[in-house]
């Protein structure tokens, strides 16, 4: 059987937009995806800040729209998880968990990133609907409201200060008895809008379709704080890249290294979305990276006989 022109691994905003664009170029495209609900955007209650959706849109609905573009453009979609890749020679071989193998002349890696460890109840369910990861990206969505920041690092403190510029009130929940930061930063936090609660932890995020409060355990007592948004800086996260087994150049955190054309260290393999990013980014940025990767793959395929 002839190899595909390109196989795209992961169908989130990055992979779906890459697949749609390459299928529009009339390339033979296979998109392999574990399932919409397995990705960051597909499992987000709400996606805000996506261009063209001033009210926001639910993560699964946004993903369904991307999927419609993929099928309308003529790409093939297979539901399943990738287990491994053989990139020693072109055509490359991609093998799914069920043992099915596919040959391809190019690959786009777009399997995203995921939080490691425990999330409290409500944290996953209300992601994007008040549960956020980055004040620079999403702080404006809670301007004028009450915000809870969880963490003890410089990053958490700086994000609390940034949020205090637009929010009415900021609670900084510190999961230890002191802050792990320089004295100058501690002084800056002495702002009347900011209340620091030491030796405390987040127990639950409350709300049905958006965050309304958080439950915090402080000094052995549970306390409910009314809130419009919660930003946690206590979670570690990693790219979804175990199947790569270091076959392309990656950092220790599993971040795939790419050049300006989204090309990895292996000719013919490209990457886009959260798998190439060192910190949280927006679905719109991942989608745009998918389009850039598609353009690069199209140019690359044009160089093959
Ligand atoms: C730590 C972190 C926090 C974030 N927080 C927010 C936030 O609060 N709000 C917000 O709007 N954005 C947030 N983002 C950004 C946003 O979610 C992403 O930019 C966007 O979803 C990334 O798109 P993607 O296509 O790269 O990955 P994803 O949307 O995660 O999609 C990856 C796809 O790959 C598939 N997949 C995974 N493994 C396999 C496999 N082995 N085989 C086949 N398919 C597979 C999944 O099923 C999924 O469909 C955050 C990102 C990170 C890294």
Does 164 contact ligand 1 (Cβ within 6 A)? Answer: no
- Alpha carbon 135 to its chain centroid, in Å, reads 15
Give the residue range(s) of CATH 3.50.50.60 domains in the chain. Answer: 4-115+236-303, 131-232
User: What topology is assigned to 131-232 in CATH?
Assistant: FAD/NAD(P)-binding domain (3.50.50)
Question: Euclidean distance between the first and final Cα of the chain, in Å?
Answer: 18
Mean predicted lDDT score pLDDT of the chain? 95
pLDDT at 53: 94
Q: Which residue's CA is the closest to the ligand 1 atom numbered 40?
A: 81
Cβ neighbours for 114, distance < 8 A, ≥ 6 positions apart? 40, 237, 238, 240
pLDDT over 80 (residue 119): yes
Q: Is the distance from the beta carbon of residue 40 to the nearest atom of ligand 1 less than 6 Å? A: yes
Average pLDDT over residues 221-237: 95
Smallest CA-to-CA distance from 257 within 245, 270, 244, 267 is with 270
Cβ 15 under 6 angstroms from ligand 1: yes
Mean pLDDT of 62-66: 97
Would the CB of 207 count as within 6 Å of ligand 1?
A: no
133 lines ligand 1 (CB under 6 A): yes
Q: Which of 96-105, 268-277, 278-287 has the lowest mean pLDDT?
A: 278-287
Task: State the pLDDT at residue 236.
Answer: 87
Q: Which pLDDT band, with edges at 50, 70 and 90, does 115 fall under?
A: confident
| Dihedral (CA of 153, 156, 162, 167) sign | negative
**pLDDT over 70 at 305, yes or no:** no
CATH placement of domain 4-115+236-303: 3.50.50.60
Taking 90 as the threshold, does the pLDDT of residue 280 lie above it?
no
Going from the Cα of 163 to the center of ligand 1, the distance in angstroms, rounded, reads: 25
* pLDDT band at residue 226 using 50, 70 and 90 as cut-offs: very high
Give distance in angstroms: CA of 114 to centre of ligand 1: 7
Regarding the beta carbon of 39 and ligand 1, being less than 6 Å apart is answered: yes
* pLDDT above 70: residue 47: yes
Residue of 216, 162, 233, 224 whose CA lies nearest to 193: 162
Query: In the predicted model, what is the mean pLDDT of residues 39-44?
Result: 94
pLDDT band at 191 (very low <50, low <70, confident <90, very high): confident
Distance 234 CA to ligand 1 centre (A): 19
pTM of the predicted structure, to 2 decimals: 0.93
User: 139: Cβ below 6 Å to ligand 1?
Assistant: no
pLDDT > 70: percent of the chain: 100
Q: Looking at residue 85, what is its pLDDT? A: 94
């Amino acid at each position: 059987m002839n190899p595909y022109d390109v196989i795209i691994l992961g169908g989130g905003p990055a992979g779906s937009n890459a697949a749609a664009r390459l299928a529009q170029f009339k390339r033979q495209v296979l998109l392999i995806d574990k399932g919409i609900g397995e990705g960051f955007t597909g499992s987000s209650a709400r996606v805000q800040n996506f261009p063209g959706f001033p009210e926001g849109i639910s993560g699964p609905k946004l993903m369904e729209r991307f999927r419609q573009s993929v099928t309308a453009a003529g790409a093939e979609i297979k539901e399943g998880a990738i287990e491994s890749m053989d990139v020693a020679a072109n055509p490359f071989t991609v093998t799914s968990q069920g043992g099915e193998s596919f040959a391809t002349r190019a690959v786009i890696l777009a399997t995203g990133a995921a939080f490691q460890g425990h999330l409290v109840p409500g944290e996953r369910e209300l992601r994007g609907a008040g549960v956020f990861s980055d004040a620079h990206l999403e702080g404006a969505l809670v301007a004028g409201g009450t915000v809870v920041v969880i963490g003890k690092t410089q990053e958490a403190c700086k994000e609390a200060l940034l949020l205090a510029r637009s929010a009415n009130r900021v609670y900084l929940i510190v999961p230890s008895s002191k802050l792990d930061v320089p004295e100058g930063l501690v002084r800056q936090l002495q702002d009347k809008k900011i209340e620091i609660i030491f030796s405390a932890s987040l127990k639950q995020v409350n709300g049905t379709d958006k965050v309304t409060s958080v439950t915090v355990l402080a000094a052995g007592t549970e306390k409910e704080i009314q809130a419009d948004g919660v930003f946690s800086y206590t979670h570690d996260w990693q790219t979804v890249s175990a199947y790569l087994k270091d076959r392309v150049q990656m950092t220790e955190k599993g971040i795939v290294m790419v050049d300006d054309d989204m090309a990895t260290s292996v000719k013919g393999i490209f990457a886009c979305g959260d798998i190439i990013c060192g910190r949280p980014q927006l679905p719109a940025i991942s989608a745009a990276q998918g389009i850039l990767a598609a353009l690069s793959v199209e140019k690359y395929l044009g160089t093959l006989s």
